[in-house]
Amino acid sequence: MPFLKLFGKNKPNTPQSFVVVGVDSNDVVCLRVETSDGNVKIVGAEKQGIPNGSVILGNIENPSAVLMALGECLDRLDKIDENLEDAPKDMVFVLSGGNSLGLMTAAKVRRDGTKPLSVKELDLVYKKTTEASLMKMQSELLVQKGNSEIDMELVTSSVLYTRLDDKNVLNPVGMECSTLEMAIFTSFAPKEHLKMLNKLAKSVGFKLIGQGYDVFSLVNTMEKTDLENINYVLIHMGSDFTNVGIIFGGGLITTKVLPVGRDHFAKEISQELGIAYREADEMLSKYSSDSLSESENLMVRNALQDVLKIWLSGVELLFAEFSGIKTFASRIYLAGEGFDVPDIYEVLVTEPWTKSIPFREPPEFSKLPLSEISVISDLSGKATSLEWTMPATLSISFLDR
Amino acid sequence: MTRVEIDLNEDIISILNKLQNINDTGLDLYIPVGAAIFDNILNLKLLRKEMEKTGHVVHFITDDEVGNTLISMLDTDTSTSFMPEDFGNISMSSAGGLLSKIPAILGGLLPKAKVPAINSKALLLIPLVLALCAFGLYKRAGTLRADIKIVVASQSTARSISMKVKKDAESSEELSVLGGKAVSAVLVEKAESTTTGEKLVGEKSEGKVTIFNKTSDEVDLDEGTELNFDDGDEDLVFVLTEDITIPAIYEKDPTDPSSVLVPGEVEADIEASDIGAKFNIDGGETMGVEGYKRSELVAEVVEDLTGGKSETRKIVSEKDKTDLSTSTLSKVTAGAEEALKKNLSVGQKLIEGSSLVSIQKETYSKAVNEEAEKLELVMEVTVSGLTYSEDDLNDLLDKLVAKSMPEEYVISDEGRVVEVDVLGNTDSSILSSVEADLQVTSKTYVVPNISEDDLKDRLKGKSSQEAERIIGSLKDIRSYTVEIRGGIPLFKKVPKDIDKISIEITKSDD
């Protein structure tokens, strides 16, 4: 019964300890997490660089390089502390906006108002809504990528709300109504990509217990925090994309992705300063942590300027793409490695780009480091920068299944 | 209007950097099939928006089907509706939304064909025309060829690897050992040096002395008894050349109690103990006698001693031999590697500093102490050195680099640069004629591993457009051309006979 499952029944067992793996165009990141009493402890956090071009917009183009980096990370995780319990053998992969898609589908059904809603009827509505979400996903693929025939697989399906005769109801089983409205959030990822993740997990001797769409996981995790978590916008700036999620009523409504991320800034530094990409990437990291000399700082800052303008223009364009949304919530949360670069954060916060976007009020920006999320404790001390937030929240999603 | 072509993998930032430097306001942007920019419509929208800011108008031109769909949608309202789908009474069979608009969008892109009417009289000629055409087409079909040129993206990879070359060993990537071979040569070197040894030659002085005995006893002196003359600077030694007996002192007149005493005396032959003119002592000079006081025995030179003389002559010294041998060996050693290089075969490389020189034979013109102004040497040596084959080194490097290289890539034969540094003989490295530690820096280019045979199999029988799509979908392609020659016009396809398909894969220069 999928509908019952969505409402928290038939909950499968979540292992006490597992590894969350994120793969982006620059690195493979691994988190060893342990769960207890609804909380998550990160006991190990490791990352390993991969050659440029090995992963493009979330798609693994060079499986050997990713496998090698994954192996390195896991080896290091194994060595973190001999006192820890046996190494986990379950693995969860992060799906990012680079190649995955998340959207909301709402459906309305007219019915005989005298009959109580049965699980079977709700199941049917849920099934039909899911089918509609597949069609919607294909439409979105056509709009974004010009091709609706990409073989995608459903990864996440979550009921956002059920509304009986225009009233929100948490559990509608047994209730009577003339109109039933159901909204679900679904996320999809390319089937080939999911197969590849399965292969990777097997190759390192792990069992793949699931994949999760990162924006969805973060939204779920936000519910457990004291932060503003009802209406907000989430901007996740990854290595080669910027993904924007729109959240209303605590539920993720839609996402759109701009294929420009932190890598593009590193590439520009590489070009401008005539240095290798890896060196430029390292320089950008040092720039972000304010550990460059004054002259190097100046060189990097100058190299970033043109890309900053283009990226910001892209963000503005991206918001304009949400043309079905009348007004955006004014709270904007920022996550992802891109926002570790101070200039990117500053240009987003200070430039007047928001004036052309219908925000309800002048937007307020907040970075979302893991330290803001109390249900996750970082015992490793390594997951401090913004790039760890998204993969870490995936563990909460798995705790909630 | 300026025509600009972009690469398959160019991203939006790189393309904008390229375009914004062009002065022309009208730009035709040619985008290859499968280009990365078609990953998301926002790339095209952002490109257009940014170019408009600088007063440019960009026309997108591509053969990519997906790309053309995206371009056609640039001005279409693609907004997403968040209104609930109305399922009515749950018997919903399809959803609305943008998907329903697809045929309309794609329909406009499809070409329309017109078929002309055929004259009925001409129908009679059809069988003949068809037969002629069939024959012509049959002949022409045999000429069908496909020439495919693919430029693949290349990525340079530099590695610095420590390895050991071992004589007569098998190469092993696990041990980082490169099998080496010895090379040898026999060299003959002639050399000459001026002798530095000296020898004193001459005659001994000789003459007669009278030896006076002032003792009361007769004295016998043997041949060889030394007589000493003090010339003020040194004692000069003479020797008796005969046995003599000198009578004792006696009274001149034994009968006279006051008679004077007269020393006994005898004349004897003497010669100097050494050569040299300094021994030519004047007559009348006196000498002491070994073992006797002058008050007992004293010798007086009778006449000037003569014949003493000496002179210095050049001779070969042991050092002369050693020095000549050392300098000749150095000279041979300095030229040894050049001599070895003449014996190398094509592709064989000598490890500098690995040469060992062994002396086989030395022939000197004079022996030690022999008088000579010059000394000549003929030295015969064997030189051996350690070599490796460039091909073996490249093979080993390929295997070592391949260890850390993804399966989908191979090392290109083009553009390889290999630098070999010999680490020398230190505490931590060895350099000899049988073993040498090297630090090899290799810069190679990695290109996608495209099997020509597999690609031919995939392409055979395909239309030009299908072939382009297949090639365009290959990983890391920079550009390509598909030229189908010969064959039947309008029915040109890649030949099914793979021998008639030529594929040339080169790496890009950037």
Q: For position B288, what pLDDT does the model report?
A: 94
Pick from B10, B90, B469 the residue to mutate for testing the A interface (most A CBs within 10 Å): B90
Q: For position A263, what pLDDT does the model report?
A: 93
Give the pair of three-digit tokens for residue A311: 């990226």
The answer to whether A100 and B40 have CB atoms below 8 angstroms apart is no
Nearest-by-Cβ selection for A57 from B16, B39, B102: B39
The answer to whether A221 and A396 have CB atoms below 8 angstroms apart is yes
Q: How far is B73 from chain A (nearest CA, A)?
A: 8
Q: How far is B442 from chain A (nearest CA, A)?
A: 17
Query: In this model, does residue A262 exceed pLDDT 90?
Result: yes
Average pLDDT over residues B409-438: 85
Average pLDDT over residues B220-231: 93
| Cβ contacts of A107 on chain B, cutoff 8 Å | 84-87, 92
Percent of chain A with pLDDT over 90: 37
**Are A324 and B39 in contact (CB < 8 Å)?**
no
Q: How far is B1 from chain A (nearest CA, A)?
A: 24
Beta-bridge partner residues of A254: A103, A246
**Are B84 and A53 in contact (CB < 8 Å)?**
no
Of the ranges B19-28, B120-129, B248-257, the best mean pLDDT one: B248-257
Nearest residue to B367 (alpha-carbon basis) of B376, B356, B358: B376
- pLDDT-derived band at B102, boundaries 50, 70, 90: very low
Pick from A131, A135, A164, A243 the residue to mutate for testing the B interface (most B CBs within 10 Å): A135
Q: Which helix (H) or strand (E) holds A300?
A: helix A294-321
Separation of alpha carbons B236 and B249, rounded Å: 28
Q: Buried b / exposed e across B87-119, counting CB within 10 Å, b at 16+?
A: beeeebeebebbbebeeeeeeeeeeeeeeeeee
Query: In this model, does residue A14 exceed pLDDT 80?
Result: no
Q: For position B77, what pLDDT does the model report?
A: 64
**Are A317 and B46 in contact (CB < 8 Å)?**
yes
Q: For position B116, what pLDDT does the model report?
A: 35
The answer to whether B364 and B173 have CB atoms below 8 angstroms apart is no
pLDDT-wise least confident of A284-288, B89-93, B224-228, B458-462: B89-93
Distance of CA A140 to the CA centre of its chain: 18
CA B470 vs CA A43, A55, A283, B361, B464: distances in Å: 46, 21, 39, 72, 10
- pLDDT-derived band at A9, boundaries 50, 70, 90: very low
Nearest-by-Cβ selection for A324 from B80, B87, B94: B80
> Is B376 buried (19+), middle (13-18) or exposed (0-12) by CB count in 10 A?
middle
Query: In this model, does residue B490 exceed pLDDT 70?
Result: no
Q: For position B316, what pLDDT does the model report?
A: 94
A85 or B447: which carries more pLDDT confidence?
A: B447
**Are A62 and B406 in contact (CB < 8 Å)?**
yes
Query: In this model, does residue A224 exceed pLDDT 80?
Result: yes
Q: For position B98, what pLDDT does the model report?
A: 34
Q: For position B93, what pLDDT does the model report?
A: 32
pLDDT in tens, A322-344: 877 889 999 999 999 999 999 99
Q: How many CB atoms lie within 10 A of CB B358?
A: 11
Pick from B98, B404, B478 the residue to mutate for testing the A interface (most A CBs within 10 Å): B98
pLDDT in tens, A266-310: 999 998 888 888 899 999 999 999 999 988 899 999 999 999 999
Q: How far is B157 from chain A (nearest CA, A)?
A: 10
Q: For position B480, what pLDDT does the model report?
A: 82
> What is the residue whose two structure tokens read 């609930």?
B84
Residue of A nearest to B407 (CA): A64
- The C-alpha R_g of chain B, in whole angstroms, comes to 55
Nearest-by-Cβ selection for B82 from A62, A104, A131: A104
CB under 8 Å to B455, separation ≥6 — which residues? B470, B471, B474, B503
**Model ipTM value:** 0.88
Q: How far is A66 from chain B (nearest CA, A)?
A: 9
- The C-alpha R_g of chain A, in whole angstroms, comes to 21
Mean pLDDT across chain B? 82
What count of CB pairs under 8 Å joins A to B? 165
Beta-bridge partner residues of B194: B374
Average pLDDT over residues A365-375: 89
CB under 8 Å to A226, separation ≥6 — which residues? A374
Q: For strand A90-95 and strand A152-164, is the pairing parallel, antiparallel, or unpaired? A: unpaired
Distance of CA B310 to the CA centre of its chain: 61
Q: For position B89, what pLDDT does the model report?
A: 63
**Are B98 and A143 in contact (CB < 8 Å)?**
yes
Percent of chain B with pLDDT over 90: 34
Residue of A nearest to B474 (CA): A61
**Are B98 and A139 in contact (CB < 8 Å)?**
yes
The answer to whether A322 and A104 have CB atoms below 8 angstroms apart is no
- pLDDT-derived band at B106, boundaries 50, 70, 90: very low
Q: Taking every pair of C-alpha atoms in chain A, what is the biggest distance, in angstroms?
A: 76
**Are A56 and B79 in contact (CB < 8 Å)?**
no
**Are B45 and A138 in contact (CB < 8 Å)?**
no
Q: How far is A349 from chain B (nearest CA, A)?
A: 21
Q: For position A228, what pLDDT does the model report?
A: 82
Q: What is the DSSP letter of B83?
A: S
pLDDT in tens, A159-193: 888 899 888 888 888 888 999 999 998 999 999 99
Average pLDDT over residues B381-397: 91
Q: How far is B80 from chain A (nearest CA, A)?
A: 5
Average pLDDT over residues B199-206: 92
Separation of alpha carbons B294 and B288, rounded Å: 6
Average pLDDT over residues B91-108: 32
Separation of alpha carbons A322 and A140, rounded Å: 12
**Are B66 and A111 in contact (CB < 8 Å)?**
no
Average pLDDT over residues B317-341: 91
| Cβ contacts of A323 on chain B, cutoff 8 Å | 77-80
Average pLDDT over residues A218-246: 90
pLDDT in tens, A25-75: 889 999 999 887 778 889 999 999 888 888 888 889 888 889 999 999 998
Nearest residue to A152 (alpha-carbon basis) of A85, A76, A58: A58
Q: For position A374, what pLDDT does the model report?
A: 85
**Are B38 and A145 in contact (CB < 8 Å)?**
yes
Nearest residue to A244 (alpha-carbon basis) of A97, A24, A25, A358: A97
Q: How far is A258 from chain B (nearest CA, A)?
A: 6
Nearest-by-Cβ selection for A142 from B14, B42, B102: B102
Percent of chain B with pLDDT over 70: 85
Q: How far is B508 from chain A (nearest CA, A)?
A: 16
Beta-bridge partner residues of B244: B221
pLDDT in tens, B167-185: 999 999 888 899 999 998 8
Q: For position B9, what pLDDT does the model report?
A: 81
Average pLDDT over residues B285-302: 93
Separation of alpha carbons A146 and A135, rounded Å: 15
Give the pair of three-digit tokens for residue A265: 């800034």
| Cβ contacts of A306 on chain B, cutoff 8 Å | 13, 17
Secondary structure (DSSP) of B115-177 = -----SGGGGGHHHHHHHHHHHHHHHHTT-EEEEEEEE--EEEEEEEEEEEEETPPPBTTTTE
| Cβ contacts of B407 on chain A, cutoff 8 Å | 64
Query: In this model, does residue B364 exceed pLDDT 90?
Result: yes
Residue of B nearest to A183 (CA): B84
